Amino acid sequence: MPETLKSKLPASVSLDVMVEAGAWPDVPALEALAERVVGAALAEMDGYSGKTELSLVFTDDAHIQALNAEWRGKDKPTNVLSFPAFSAAAGMTGLPPMLGDIVLASETVTREAGLEGKPLDHHLSHLIAHGLLHLLGQDHETEAEAEAMEALERRILARLAIPDPYA
């Protein structure tokens, strides 16, 4: 197995995976995928350390639409939402005790993967990495922020032998 596919979740990170609704792979498969992505992301970010917890909620479009309306004022489904437990400070290197929650919507994620001709696990890996970067303080509100965040996403996915999602 190539080294890039061995990215493992650090022992200091506790991962909670819950399938709330939607047509998702089984929990052990989602846990394994999430562990690889989070491990690759933290390895790529190099310098983030400390004991922390992360929650991933796999749900459907109806639930994510309600969350999106309540928290972002956008009454429509989206692929992923991130809810940080703590605000990330500029230059932060230690992980907070709780990173927060990443919520994903099955219908939107599946539809996007199909439209883009990508395997579901590749698209899901990208969205988990994207959500985690938000929890670590990354954003894409400006062009410069978007370029920096996309570059990080590309490097994280390359560690997992996943092609550039922006190509």
On whether residue 165 sits in a domain, the answer given is no
pLDDT of residue 7: 56
Under the banding of pLDDT at 50, 70 and 90, the label for residue 49 is low
- Domain with residue 94: its CATH number is 3.40.390.30
Mean pLDDT across the chain: 87
Residue 1 scores a pLDDT above 70: no
At residue 91 the predicted structure's pLDDT band, cuts being 50, 70 and 90, is low
Domain assignment of residue 114, yes or no: yes
Q: Residue 54: helix, strand or coil by DSSP?
A: strand
For residues 109-120, average pLDDT: 96
Residue 161 binned pLDDT confidence (cut-offs 50, 70, 90): very high
Angle at 72 between CA 68 and CA 77, to 5 degrees: 25
> With 80 as the cut, is the pLDDT of residue 22 above it?
yes
In a domain, 105, yes or no: yes
Asked, for residue 167, whether it belongs to a domain, the answer is: no
**pTM of the shown model:** 0.89
pLDDT of 11 strictly over 80:
no
**Residue 31's CB: how many other CB atoms inside 10 A?**
16
The total number of structural domains that make up the chain: 1
- Cβ neighbourhood burial of 140 (10 Å; 0-12, 13-18, 19+): middle
CA 34 to chain CA centroid, Å, is 8
Residue 40 lies in a domain: yes
Residue-number span of the structural domain to which 72 is assigned = 7-159
Average pLDDT over residues 64-68: 95
Q: Is residue 115 part of a domain?
A: yes
Task: Tell me if 27 is assigned to some domain.
Answer: yes
Q: Please give the pLDDT value at position 95.
A: 73
Predicted confidence at residue 4, as pLDDT, reads 40
**In a domain? residue 104:** yes
pLDDT of residue 5: 44
List b or e across 83-107, with b for residues whose CB sees 16 or more CB atoms inside 10 angstroms. bbeeebeeeeeebbebbbbbbbbbb
